[in-house]
Amino acid sequence: MAAFSERVFSGVQPTGNLHLGNYLGAITRFVALQERYDCVYCVVDMHAITVPQDPTELRRQTREVTAAFIASGIDPVRQIVFNQSQVGAHAELGWIFNCVARMGWLSRMTQFKEKAGKDRENASVGLFDYPCLMAADILAYKATHVPVGEDQKQHLELTRDIAGKFNNDFSASIASNGHGEAFFPLTEPVIGGPAARVMSLRDGTKKMSKSDPSDYSRINLTDDADAIAQKIRKAKTDAEPLPSEEAGLARRPEADNLVGIYAALAGAEKPAVLGEFGGAQFSTFKGALVDLAVEKLGPIGAEMNRLVADPGHIDRVLANGAARAAAIADRTVAEVKDILGMVRS
């Protein structure tokens, strides 16, 4: 395959509170990757509107996710941070991918099935088509690496399918336009670590999610120390002490989840945490987890609050990022149009 220069892309929806799953599964990894790669981080407001949104809240949450990126350590000067709707190339390439992807591929997406529920007839076309826009987000930048939580794995496989089909269907035109053998990279998902799937604090078999009606199921990035402590103390557990080996976490989803959260917050792996806490009661372990979570999340929440108090500054960050993003994405779309045989001036 042709060599592509390495670039990271990822996105977060501005819908509801950002929680520990978003932070550990995605945002902390965005921060780590910026040391080695050119990165593009996007607040995906056009994905958000695939389900109903209140306009005032959408605007507020777009700024809040941007603030979370910056407060967590993403550098918007060295890297590109912007909101999706400011770069028209995403929608344009998304349309082109509608014509590459197959109905059957999208029909298999488990996230659509979950989100649409029983009332599929009433779901927006955008919700069904969500993965094509996601592929456009990634491939507009020819991103080679995409850090996400485990729940996005299937969408990334679809992105690879779209890239592969485009490269294959238009191989002659890709070559004659001077792009060699492949126009789009087959993007690698970057999924893993102890918090690739953070579970609800109330039920270790359910993903921690913005849409869970119980606020006790998740820790929000803006929760204060008291709320963090209360939620961890009330988190569901079982009656046994913690095991000393990772194998002992099998069939103990709540214990596994809390150990994974501790490990991710500490920048460690689960065996190291069990090495320290094996044999301990949950009361002891939860006390240590509260201290660690407050130490790590407290400053981020405070910095987010400080940043959102100055929306003008955030909007300037987004406008600057959008201009730099458009310079890359517009070029990709122009090249795609040439490959497809569209006349352009």
Residues in touch with ligand TYM (CB under 6 A)? 9-13, 21-22, 25-26, 44, 47, 134, 137-138, 146, 148-149, 151-152, 155, 195-198, 207-208
DSSP class of residue 200 equals: P
Residue among 148 and 182 whose Cβ is closer to ligand TYM: 148
Euclidean distance between CA atoms 139 and 145, whole angstroms: 11
Euclidean distance between CA atoms 76 and 39, whole angstroms: 10
Of the listed 142, 207, 231, 270, which one is catalytic? 207
Residue among 12 and 182 whose Cβ is closer to ligand TYM: 12
Backbone φ and ψ for 201, nearest 5 degrees, come out as -75, -15
Euclidean distance between CA atoms 80 and 77, whole angstroms: 7
Q: How many CB atoms lie within 10 A of CB 336?
A: 23
Least distance (Å) between residue 110 CB and ligand TYM: 13
Of the listed 153, 165, 210, 236, which one is catalytic? 210
Euclidean distance between CA atoms 268 and 292, whole angstroms: 13
> Which residues contact residue 26 at a Cβ distance below 8 angstroms, ignoring those fewer than 6 apart?
10, 12, 147, 148, 149
Least distance (Å) between residue 152 CB and ligand TYM: 4
Cα Rg, the chain, nearest whole Å: 21
Residue among 18 and 308 whose Cβ is closer to ligand TYM: 18
Least distance (Å) between residue 153 CB and ligand TYM: 9
Asked about 270 being catalytic, the answer comes back as no
Of the listed 115, 153, 236, 337, which one is catalytic? 115
Least distance (Å) between residue 22 CB and ligand TYM: 4
Residue among 62 and 167 whose Cβ is closer to ligand TYM: 62
Helix (H, G, I), strand (E, B) or coil at 40: strand
Residue among 57 and 338 whose Cβ is closer to ligand TYM: 57
DSSP class of residue 259 equals: H
Closest residue by Cα to residue 261 from 290, 304, 301:
290
Q: How many CB atoms lie within 10 A of CB 340?
A: 13
Least distance (Å) between residue 218 CB and ligand TYM: 8
Asked about 210 being catalytic, the answer comes back as yes
Closest residue by Cα to residue 255 from 220, 229, 234, 285:
285
Euclidean distance between CA atoms 254 and 202, whole angstroms: 8
Residue among 8 and 294 whose Cβ is closer to ligand TYM: 8
Asked about 234 being catalytic, the answer comes back as no
Least distance (Å) between residue 191 CB and ligand TYM: 8
* Contact (CB, 8 A) for 134 and 90: no
Residues with a known catalytic role:
115, 207, 210
